[in-house]
Structure 1
Amino acid sequence: MKVLLVEDNNDVGEAVERRLIAAGHIVTWNRDGQHVDDALEHDPVDAVILDLTLPAADGMTILRQIRRRWRDLPVLVITAKAEIDDKVSLLDLGADDYLVKPFDMREMEARLRALVRRPTGHFTSVLQSGDLALDPDGRIVTVAGRVIDLGRREFGLLEALMAQAGRVVSRERLMSRLSDLEDGGSENALELLVSRLRRKIAGSAAEVVTVRGVGYLVRTMQDAQD
C-alpha cells in the first residue's frame, strides 16, 4: 500500500518509514504538516499516519480537512499520552484508529493493514478475529456478541496476540508485556495464562495456537485452512 506519513519527530518518522518500506509499502513523509491536502490531491494514497503535534500545523485541523475531502481514506492517528483525553474528539472528527506513543512498530503495521482491509466507512480500534472481538477502549471482549469475563493479565495477553492476529508473537515479548502489567512475567506464568485464556474463549472461531519454541498466535479456523 501507499502511505502518507505526517510526523515531525525524526526518530519516530524514520522508524515508521523503515518498518513500512521493509514490508514492501511506499511511504511519503511530510515532516511539518503543511500542505497535506495538496499532497493528497496530487498523489493519492491508501492510508495516512498522522501525528497530532506538528510544528507548522494542528493535527486536529489536518484530520478535519482530510475527512471533509476524503471521507473514506483510512487515518491512523499517533498521539502522546497527554493527549489521550482527546480520543473522543479524534473519533468524532473521523480518525479510524489511534496509537499512543511509544508504540510497537509491529502493532502499528498490523493496525494499518487492518484499516486498509476493512470496507470503506469509519472504523473503530476494535480488534477482530473471526467472531472474537476485543475493544481496547472499553476493555470488553466478546465471542459471537457474548461478553466474556477476562482478568487484567488475560486481557493484556489477548490484546497483544490480536494486535498481530495470524502472526506469531514471541514468548519473550509476551512475558515482557505481562511484566509491565503485573509483578513480573515468567514462562510458567505465561503458559498458565494461555491455558486460562483458551478455556475462556472456547467455542470461538478463533484459537490461541502454540508455535513450539517460538511463541503463540491467534488465528481463525479459516486461517488454519488457508
Structure 2
Amino acid sequence: MRFLLVEDNIQLASAVVDRLTLDGHAVDHADTISAAHACIAAASYDLILLDIMLPDGDGRDFLAAHRRAANKTPVIVLTARSQVSDRVGLLDLGADDYITKPFEFSELEARCRAVLRRQGGVADNRRSFANTVLDSMAATLSFDSTERNLRNRELRLLEIFYGSPGQIFTKSHLMDRLFSFDEEASENAIEVYIGRLRKKLEGSAAKIETVRGLGYRLVAVS
C-alpha cells in the first residue's frame, strides 16, 4: 500500500516513515500543505496520515478541500487535540479516523489496518479467494493444510490482487502502489515479486496470470 504522511515534525515523520516502511508500505512524506497537494497530483494513495498544525496552513482546510474534490482516499488525522468537540469536528469534516499524539506505533498500525479494511469492505484481516486465505495480520497465505509466510512487500502486493480479483494491474500501476518517490525501483522488481508470489501460490487454486501486453491479474484455476 502507498501512504502519504503530511507532518512537519521531522523527527516524528522519520519515525513513522521508517516503521510503516518496515511493514512493507511505500510512504511519501510532505511537510507542508502545498507539498501534500503536489504529491496527490503526482501519485495515487491508499491512505493519508494528516497532521493539523502545518507551516503553511491548517490540516483541517486540506481535509475539507480533499473531500470537496470528491477524493475518497481515507484520511487518519494525527492530532494533539484531546477535546471531544475537536475530534467530532474532524470526523464531521471527513476524517475516517484520528489518533492523538503522542501515540504508540502499534496503535497507529492497527488504525491503518482498520481503516483500510473498511475501505476494502472486509470485516477482518483475512481475504479469501478460490481455496486460499490471505491473512494480513499474520502475513500468511493458507490453502488446504498449507501455510506459507510472506515477506512484507510480498504481502502488500498480494493485498492489491486480493482486493480486486480478476482486475488487470499494469507494472507501472503496481510500482506506483508499492514504491515511494524516494525508492529507486524498476519494473524488473515487480517481475521478481510476481515470481516469488507464484511460488507461494503453487499447489493452490489461485494463480497470478500474465495478460500479455497489459499486466497481471489474480485468477482461479481448476
TM-score (ref. length: structure 2): 0.52
Residue identity in the other structure for 1:100: T
Provide the rounded CA distance (Å) in 1 between the counterparts of 2:8 and 2:80.
13
Task: Kindly state the Cα deviation for residue 119 of structure 1 after the two structures are TM-superposed.
Answer: 3.4
Counting aligned pairs with the same residue, the percent is 40
2:33 is paired with a residue whose SS is coil
Q: Is the 8 A contact 2:74 2:119 kept in 1?
A: no
Q: Deviations over 1:134-185 (max 9, x none)?
A: xxxxxxxxxxxxxxxxxxxxxxxxxxxxxxxx979xxxxxxxxxxxxxxxxx
Provide the rounded CA distance (Å) in 1 between the counterparts of 2:115 and 2:31.
23
Task: Kindly state the Cα deviation for residue 69 of structure 1 after the two structures are TM-superposed.
Answer: 1.9
Provide the rounded CA distance (Å) in 2 between the counterparts of 1:53 and 1:76.
14
Summarize the alignment of residues 56-95 of structure 1 with structure 2, pairs less than 5 Å apart.
Answer: 56-81=56-81, 85-95=85-95
Summarize the alignment of residues 1-226 of structure 1 with structure 2, pairs less than 5 Å apart.
Answer: 1-81=1-81, 85-119=85-119
Provide the rounded CA distance (Å) in 1 between the counterparts of 2:53 and 2:7.
8
Provide the rounded CA distance (Å) in 2 between the counterparts of 1:116 and 1:79.
20
Which consecutive residues of structure 2, in runs of 5 or more, have no partner in the other structure? 126-135, 139-222
Which consecutive residues of structure 1, in runs of 5 or more, have no partner in the other structure? 131-165, 169-226
Task: Kindly state the Cα deviation for residue 20 of structure 1 after the two structures are TM-superposed.
Answer: 0.2
Cα gap change, 1:46 to 1:167, in 2 (>3 Å) = closer
Q: Deviations over 1:78-126 (max 9, x none)?
A: 1003565311110111000000000011110111121112136xx9xxx
Provide the rounded CA distance (Å) in 2 between the counterparts of 1:76 and 1:18.
18
1:118 is paired with a residue whose SS is helix
Residue identity in the other structure for 1:116: L
Provide the rounded CA distance (Å) in 2 between the counterparts of 1:32 and 1:119.
26
Cα gap change, 1:16 to 1:25, in 2 (>3 Å) = same
Provide the rounded CA distance (Å) in 1 between the counterparts of 2:70 and 2:21.
24
Provide the rounded CA distance (Å) in 1 between the counterparts of 2:113 and 2:10.
23
Residue identity in the other structure for 1:7: E
Q: Is the 8 A contact 1:34 1:57 kept in 2?
A: no
Q: Give the aligned CA root-mean-square deviation in angstroms.
A: 2.6
Cα gap change, 1:119 to 1:5, in 2 (>3 Å) = closer
Q: Is the 8 A contact 2:79 2:100 kept in 1?
A: yes
- Aligned structure 1 segments of 4 or more residues deviating by more than 3 angstroms: 81-85
Residue identity in the other structure for 1:69: A
